[in-house]
Amino acid sequence: MDVSGDDRALIEFVYHEARLIDEKRFEEWYDLYADDCRYWMPLMRDQPPGAGHTSLFDEDKLLLKIRIERLRNPKSYSQAFPSWCQHILQAPSIERREMHLGMFVLRTPFLYAEYQQDQQEIYCGVAWHHLRTAAGRILIAVKKIELLNREAALPSLQLFP
């Protein structure tokens, strides 16, 4: 994607990221993440980043890779009936621009449905994309997902909000 930080490209990127998950194009999805990325879903409200508290997701690129590889493993029994998901995104807003660093922060309220074997769970929340632009590419430095019901007793959540 050819970009230099223009708004349309940043917003399209967020839509594109969700679409790759929904279509299970995980290799392409993985490539959207920077090598030092974080895919983070905190457990508490106002939880500071870092290891001082547990989270629902706090994945570096290695953990994302493990998840993607596992989903392809025929011995992933919890995927005997494959899960499918669908993101419904509100238009992302650009919340912060640090042009000199090529860093942008986008806020995207979302609905996320995950479906498996006659059961559909619907989650909602706000996703924060910390995007880094360099050499004509956009990469995800941090995707922080604030689930509305993050403290609730939740069933298995197996894909990627």
Partner 1 sequence: MTGYRHSPAAIRALVRDDAVHRDVYTNPELFDLEMERLWRSAWTYVGHDSQVPNPGDFHTVNIAGQPLLMLRGHDGAVRVLLNRCAHKGSKIVGAGSGNCGKLLRCSYHGWTYTLDGALRTVPVKSGYADTRFAESEASRGLTSAAAIANYRGFVFVRLSQSGASFAEYFGDSLGSIDNLADRSPMGRLEVAGAPLRYMHNSNWKMFVENLNDTMHPMVAHESSAGTARELWQTQPPETPMPMVIEQFLPFVSNYDFFDKMGVKIYDHGHSYTGVNFSIHSSYSAIPEYAAQMEAVYGAERARAILGDSRHNTVYYPSLTVKGAIQTIRVVRPIAVDRTLIESFTLRLVGAPPVLLERSATYNRLINASTSVVGHDDLYCYRAIQEGLAGNGNEWVNLQRNYSDSEKEQGKEATYNGTSEVSMRGQFRAWAAAMTAGGAT
Give me the helices (H) in 5-97, please. 7-22, 26-30, 61-72
Q: Alpha-carbon torsion 41, 44, 48, 50, what sign?
A: negative
Give the phi and the psi of residue 61 in degrees, each rounded to 5. -70, -30
Q: What span, in angstroms and rounded, lies between the C-alpha atoms of 111 and 125?
A: 7
Whether the CB-CB separation of 128 and 144 falls below 8 Å is answered with yes
Selected from 1, 49, 66, 120, the binder of partner 1 by CB under 8 A is 66
Site residues for partner 1, 135-154, by CB under 8 A, read 151-154
Which of residues 51 and 91 has its CB atom nearest to partner 1 in the complex? Answer: 51
Locate 88 and state its tokens: 């419904």
Selected from 2, 8, 73, 91, the binder of partner 1 by CB under 8 A is 73
- Pseudo-torsion of CA 34, 14, 159, 110, nearest 10°? 140
Q: Judged by CB under 8 A, which stretch of 22-30, 54-62, 95-103, 134-142 contacts partner 1? A: 54-62
Is position 67 an interface residue for partner 1 (rule: CB under 8 A)? yes
State in angstroms the smallest separation of the CB of 101 from partner 1. 27
Residues 6+ apart with CB under 8 A from 15: 89, 92
Selected from 1, 27, 31, 44, the binder of partner 1 by CB under 8 A is 44
State in angstroms the smallest separation of the CB of 56 from partner 1. 5
Is position 113 an interface residue for partner 1 (rule: CB under 8 A)? no
Is position 48 an interface residue for partner 1 (rule: CB under 8 A)? no
Q: What is the DSSP letter of 54?
A: -
Which of residues 2 and 117 has its CB atom nearest to partner 1 in the complex? Answer: 117
Question: Interface residues with partner 1 (CB under 8 A)?
Answer: 41, 43-44, 47, 51-58, 60, 62-63, 65-67, 69-70, 73, 75-78, 80, 151-158
